[in-house]
Amino acid sequence: MKKWATLLPVLGLLLLLTACKVSKPGGMESTIMKDIKQQMTIGGKNDKNPLAATPANIKDGAGHFQHHCQICHGLDGHATGVPFAAQMSPPVPDLSEKDIQEYTDGQLHWIIKNGIAPSGMPAWQGILDDDEMWDAVLYIRNLPAKGSLGDPAVFKEAEESHQEMMENMNMKGMKMPSTAGKPRPHKH
């Protein structure tokens, strides 16, 4: 028993360290998790959207989506202009992807309402009301073309601030920070 008492914390630490590894899931992992999510963990499979897919409801859904969801999914639902989307583990999905569109309306509503731990998808229950969530589902079913709405303003503002800082440094004759006399790689 004493042996297990010292071994369990070590095993727990190893598990924790390996769980922190950030990488894109492999093909088999993705397939298994997709099946588990769609068949077992994501509720609402048989729930029907009480709202009709009218232009007004889709527009309302776009407004709710672009206000609450654009920070991760971009304005268009394709993660356009979201600099960290691909680095998340798992990566932020393009909501037009087959895997996402295969969810029923009820499952999409359930995901919006309850979130998906530990993926980074938060629960919106208590923030959006039920009709707002159903409107967002209608928007997800009718996404605009990728890139057609541009980048979220929050990321444009950060880039503009960065550009302004770099221009101010150049105007004052300041050099960009460097290592060993060579400029560091810098991407925009």
Is the pLDDT score of 15 beyond 70? no
Look up the pTM and report it: 0.67
Given the structure tokens 């605009």, which residue do they identify? 144
CATH of domain 41-157: 1.10.760.10
Residue 157 has what pLDDT? Answer: 72
Is the pLDDT score of 135 beyond 80? yes
Given the structure tokens 């932020």, which residue do they identify? 92
- Mean pLDDT to the nearest integer, 21-31: 59
Q: Which of 54, 75, 59, 63 is nearest to 154 (CA)?
A: 75
The whole-chain average pLDDT of the chain stands at 80
Q: Which of 93, 80, 151 is nearest to 121 (CA)?
A: 93
Q: How far is residue 128's CA from residue 144's CA, in Å, rounded to a whole number?
A: 22
Report the Cα 75 to chain-centroid distance in Å: 12
Task: Delimit the domains of the chain by residue range.
Answer: 41-157
Pick 131 or 24 by higher pLDDT. Answer: 131
Q: How far is residue 93's CA from residue 116's CA, in Å, rounded to a whole number?
A: 13
